[in-house]
Chains A and B, each alone.
Chain A
Amino acid sequence: MTPQGILLVSVVLFALGVVGVLTRRGAITILMSVEIMLNAANLAFIAFSRQFDHPDGQVYAFFIMTLAAAEAAVGLAIVIALFRLRESTDVDELNLMKW
């Protein structure tokens, strides 16, 4: 286990998250892919915190976790409001503003 190994895992997870956001159609699965990206960033923060023996990285990860909680709550509220309007969470159907 090396710093490069952990960072490689973090990068691969981030890439998977990006692919998920671009590929999936359900609003909630897009949210879940965003959570994967946030976790990958957290992993990098903790890896560097351990590398340089600085607790600050863990504090940043803590803040990111809290932010992710707030974002998930608001995002899901938006999805619920959307579902009430359109009976589906398919983001391809959100095309009212298309010319």
Chain B
Amino acid sequence: MELSAFVVLTVLAIVSAMVVILHRNQVVAALSLAANLVSIAGFYLLLHAQFLALLQVIVYAGAIMVLILFVLMLLNLPEESRRARAPGPIQAGLGVVLAAVFVAVMGWAVFGATEASAFPRPSPAFGTVASVGTVLFRDYFYAFEAISLLLVVAMVGAVLLAKRRL
């Protein structure tokens, strides 16, 4: 049951990511990214991180992606035209090989971090709002305040940058 959910989510995540990086129409790419974000939220649920899964949907898929879609639709951009010098077959093939090498090297680095063959049973309070909230407000309190300050600065900066006339 868990394995089938994992396979479905993996296929969904990788296919939607490929649509994002390959499709010419930018709005379709944005909607596909939203699907990718929801599938990542599904991964979090599989890993018993319920609070983060819900946050991922609310913040990432529900707010950030809507913001990106707004900008895309308001700017009314045409589809990305074909490159004047489209990559030839040698270039494209080399690109794929390099990407595969990249995955191999990163995979080797990441796999060395753990030798476990299965996830251990989580403690019953793992991933609950209470456990994440306690750690957040007790151990990372200053970081929390700093990031709220950063959000205010980002808001002010975004408004200033996008204004027509200061």
Contacts and interface: CB of A to CB of B under 8 A. Distances in A.
A contacts B: CB pair < 8 Å: yes
B136 interface: yes
Interface string B121-132: 011001100011
Nearest to B16: A36
A14 B110 CA distance: 12
B157 A77 contact: yes
Contacts, number: 219
A24 B83 CA distance: 10
Nearest to B140: A59
Contacts of B46: 1
B3 A1 contact: yes
Contacts of A90: 80
B126 A76 contact: no
Contact of B126 (A19, A53, A69): A53
Interface in A37-86: 39, 42-44, 46-51, 53, 55-56, 58-59, 61-63, 65-74, 76-81, 83-84
B43 A36 contact: no
Interface residues of B, number: 79
A3 B51 CA distance: 20
Interface residues of A, number: 70
Nearest to A56: B135
A80 B162 contact: yes
B67 A72 contact: yes
B30 A56 contact: no
Given A51-B116, A69-B63, A79 B71 contact: yes
B45 to A, nearest CB: 10
Contact of A39 (B6, B37, B126): B37
Interface of B: 2-3, 6, 10, 13-14, 17-18, 20-21, 26, 29-30, 33, 36-37, 40, 43-44, 46-49, 51-52, 55-56, 59-60, 63-64, 67-68, 71-72, 75, 77, 80, 83, 95, 99, 102-103, 106-107, 110-111, 113-114, 116-120, 122-123, 126-127, 131-132, 134-136, 139-140, 143, 147, 150-151, 153-155, 157-162, 164
